[in-house]
Amino acid sequence: MLPDISFFDAIAEAAAAETLPRFRMPAAIDNKHAGGFDPVTEADRAAEVAIRRLITERYPDHGILGEEHGDVGLDRDYVWVIDPIDGTRAFISGLPVWGTLVGLYHKGRAVMGMMDQPFTGERFIGRPGSASVRRHGQVSPLTSRKNVSLDQAILMTTSPSIFAEELEPCYRRVEESVQLARYGCDCYAYAMVASGYIDLVVEAGLKAYDVGGLIPLIEEAGGVITTWSGDRPENGGSIVAAGSADLHAAALDVLNRAD
C-alpha cells in the first residue's frame, strides 16, 4: 500500500526545518569531489537524517537510497530515494531553485515522488493518477505543455559543463534546434516541465537520487522522462524530460543523430 500525501508532507516539513534556517546563512561547505567541485553542507546532511528517521519509523521494512548517508535494503520491494538538497550549488549561492527530492520505488519503478521548495512555498507531488502543486495552502493540478514542436520549445539544462566531451555535441545540437535555451535550476526545471512552463530538460551524469522524486511528477503531469537511449530513468544517467511524447521523440532523434 502506498503512503498518502500526508506522509510526504511530514517528510517535507522535517527537511525544511533543517534547510530553511541555514539558507542564505554563513555555512561551512565541504567538497565531495577531489577532481572538481561537488559541495555538501550541514543542511544536506541534517535534512537527510530527518527524512530517514521518519521513513524508518513508519516503514521499517522499506529500503533507502540516500545521497549523503548511504544505502540500505536496495533489494526490497519498496525503496525510498532521497536527495535532501538537489541543487546545493544554488543553495550556497542563495538562489531559491534548489529542492528536497524524495521518490518511492516499487520493484525498481518510481511510483510516487516529491519536489519541495520551502523558501518559495511550493510542494510538487506526483502519485498514481495525478500530479499537483501546493502553493501556500492552495492545491492545483499540473499538466505539461503539449503541441510544442522542437523549434518552439523552451529548453533547460543545469550547465553545458555537465556533459562529457563525447556528449556535448549531442546536447548542442538540441540547444541549436530550440527557440530558447536557459541554464540552471536543477530540479526546479523539471517541476516547470510538469507545470507547463518549460518544455524540455536535457542532462547527463545524474544519479538515481537526482531523478527519483521527479519521475512520477513528470509522468503524471503528462510528460515523458527517459534516458537518452529511451530506457527507464530510475537509475539516472543521461536524461531527457519533455512535456509531450512527440517532443520527447524529436529530442531523442537529434541527440542520437549520427553526424
pLDDT tens across 114-144, in order? 999 999 999 999 999 999 999 988 999 999 9
Q: How many CB atoms lie within 10 A of CB 160?
A: 12
Alpha carbon 81 to chain centroid, angstroms? 11
- Mean pLDDT across the chain: 95
Please state, in angstroms and as integers, the Cα–Cα distance from residue 164 to each residue in 106, 167, 171, 201, following that order: 31, 5, 10, 17
The CATH number of 150-255, from 3.40.50.150, 3.30.300.30, 3.40.190.80, 3.30.420.40, is 3.40.190.80
pLDDT of residue 38: 63
Which CATH superfamily does the domain covering 5-141 fall into? Fructose-1,6-Bisphosphatase, subunit A, domain 1 (3.30.540.10)
Question: Where residue 233 falls among pLDDT bands split at 50, 70, 90?
Answer: very high
What are the boundaries of each domain within the chain? 5-141, 150-255
